[in-house]
Amino acid sequence: MSTAVLIVDDDPVQRRLLAHAVQRLGYRPLAAANGREALFHLATADGDAISLVILDCTAPADDGMAVLSRLRDEERGIPVIVQAGQGDMDAVSRALRAGAVDFVVKPATSERLQVSIENALKLGALESELQRIKRVAAGTLTFDDMVNRSPAMERVLGLARRAAVSQIPVLIEGEPGVGKELIARAIHGSGERKARAFLAFNCAASLAGPFDTVLFGHEKGALGGSGDRRSGKFRDAEKGTLLLDEVGTLPPAIQARLVRFLEDGEIEPPGARKPLRVDVRLIATTTRSLIDLVKEGRFREDLYYRMNVFPIRMPALRERREDIAELVRHFAARFAAEEGKAFVRGVSAEALELLLRYDWPGNVRQLENTVFRAVALAEGAWLTPAEFPQVVHQVEGAAPLAGAGLRLVPEAGGEVAFDEAGDVRPLAEVEARMIRLAITRYEGRMTEVARKLGIGRSTLYRKLKELGLDAGVTEDIAAA
């Protein structure tokens, strides 16, 4: 999976030479003789694949500046390198002021071109991720920020776009890690409430918390003593959107209060003299079937029917394999930029084939973490199967236990993460076994052990002490 570079130059000889140089560096060249052809490439399917533009800024009729202006106006986030002759520094200055990130002087050496391209791609990845983070923080994430090459995701986004133009409650169902909150944020960011707050409340993580206070707030002194007034999530999200993550875990009393809100738009904080009307769009997510919870008596039937007005089912990653390659490309570019590894250009064809064959029980979140680990440990330009040992073990080895997901390391004298009954071991026990196996695998070379585990040497020695694995024990393990 190679990165596409658009070359814009009116000189056919220079265009061919540059395309050849770009191809030798491992990128896929696309060529345009003028600004019109360049804009055509950017406006068609090629535009989604283009990660960099190399632009002749001395082209006639200000063609180069027109391309730069269009990219800036559309906020595409595609970095631009300009090329010019020795006597064209004025044109270079204008291009840099217009948004170009670097320049090369013709004829550029292969080494200079490689450094410029790698730096520009790193900067472009950082800029794209920064813009995405800003949109998430501002609640303006849109459907354009989502990978959706598969028919399954196209159907989801079709439903989500319809939900965005309405105000009715939305219920998003799906396995852990499929991106339910991302869809919720895109619905908010594409609707008329996008300028208002988007607040998320994790019902499962708040099981021991004071739901009345957190969700509905309370008036001063309502809880005894002289405690200050608290507004609560509903009032904080006024005219915006409130996401209830894992809504199926809410206690019955809170479910009853949600029914009232959905019926008449009112809440009654403790200590309030009368019910308060609030204007909030409600979106809920669940990893479990709510209708099953209704049958089990754990979720109110009337609340289910009020929440299930507009259901959206997020597909598992194994149901949208067409998106895996693009997701891998996105994660690899993002983490290469974040980790300062500009030399990482992408994923090899062999590694991509491996990733496409895996079922990803942890879905997009698991894929993201796996690519992060691969980039963090990468030492070459391309991520190969060697950077994905856990996936190699699962795809090429024995079938995993049902629902087990990735094993932490290959089997060595017993399963690391699961006991004989197939139950997950306690975290401390798994960690101790992992460290023992790593020490055995790397023959007591503690620097190598720490690097492969993704931790520092001081952290490794601290964990050895915490787990009761002193120096004598580690020597025995290494010698075994």
Burial class of residue 205 in the structure, from the number of CB atoms within 10 Å of its CB (0-12 exposed, 13-18 middle, 19+ buried): exposed
Are 332 and 179 contacting, i.e. CB atoms less than 8 angstroms apart? no
- The CA-atom distances, in angstroms, between 168 and each of 77, 301, 329 are 34, 18, 35
Closest CA to 232 of 241, 219, 247, 245: 219
Structural tokens at position 83: 């090329």
Q: Largest alpha-carbon pair distance within the chain?
A: 82
Residue intervals in the chain for CATH 1.10.8.60: 321-479
Residue intervals in the chain for CATH 3.40.50.2300: 4-136
- What DSSP state is assigned to residue 418? B
- The CA-atom distances, in angstroms, between 218 and each of 68, 222, 227, 259 are 54, 6, 9, 19
Q: What's the pLDDT score for residue 112?
A: 83
Structural tokens at position 175: 């396995």
Going along 3-57, which residue ranges are E strands? Answer: 4-8, 28-32, 50-56
Q: How many C-beta atoms lie closer than 10 Å to residue 372's C-beta? A: 17
* Digitized pLDDT (tens) for each residue of the chain, 480 residues in all: 467 888 888 888 888 888 888 888 888 888 888 888 888 888 775 656 788 888 887 765 556 677 777 777 666 678 888 888 777 777 788 788 777 888 888 777 777 888 888 778 777 666 666 666 666 655 567 787 787 789 999 999 999 999 999 999 999 999 999 999 999 999 999 999 988 999 999 988 755 457 778 888 877 766 665 567 788 899 999 999 999 999 999 999 899 999 999 999 998 887 778 888 999 999 999 999 999 999 999 999 999 999 999 999 999 999 999 999 889 988 888 888 778 787 887 888 889 889 999 999 999 999 999 999 999 888 888 899 999 988 988 886 423 333 333 333 333 333 455 554 445 567 767 777 788 777 777 767 787 788 778 787 777 877 787 776 654 444 444 444
Coarse DSSP helix, strand, coil percentages of the chain, rounded to the nearest 5 percent: 50, 15, 35
- Written as one string, the DSSP assignment of 39-97 is HHHHHSTHHHHEEEEEEETT-GGGHHHHHHHHHHHHT----EEEEE-TT-HHHHHHHHH
Structural tokens at position 249: 């875990």
**Cα–Cα dist 191/372, whole Å:** 32
**Buried b / exposed e along 39-51 (16+ C-beta atoms within 10 A):** bebbeeeebebbb
Q: What's the pLDDT score for residue 411?
A: 37
Residue intervals in the chain for CATH 3.40.50.300: 143-315
Closest CA to 120 of 6, 12, 236, 36: 6
Q: Out of 3.40.50.2300, 2.40.160.20, 2.40.50.140, 1.10.760.10, which CATH number does the structure's domain 4-136 have?
A: 3.40.50.2300
In the three-class reduction of DSSP (H, G, I as helix; E, B as strand; rest coil), residue 422 is classed as coil
Handedness of CA 190, 193, 196, 199 (dihedral sign): negative
Structural tokens at position 104: 């090369």
Class assignment of domain 321-479? Answer: mainly alpha
Q: What's the pLDDT score for residue 128?
A: 65
Residue type at position 300: R
Name the fold adopted by 143-315.
Rossmann fold (3.40.50)
**Cα–Cα dist 315/402, whole Å:** 19
Structural tokens at position 333: 């570019």
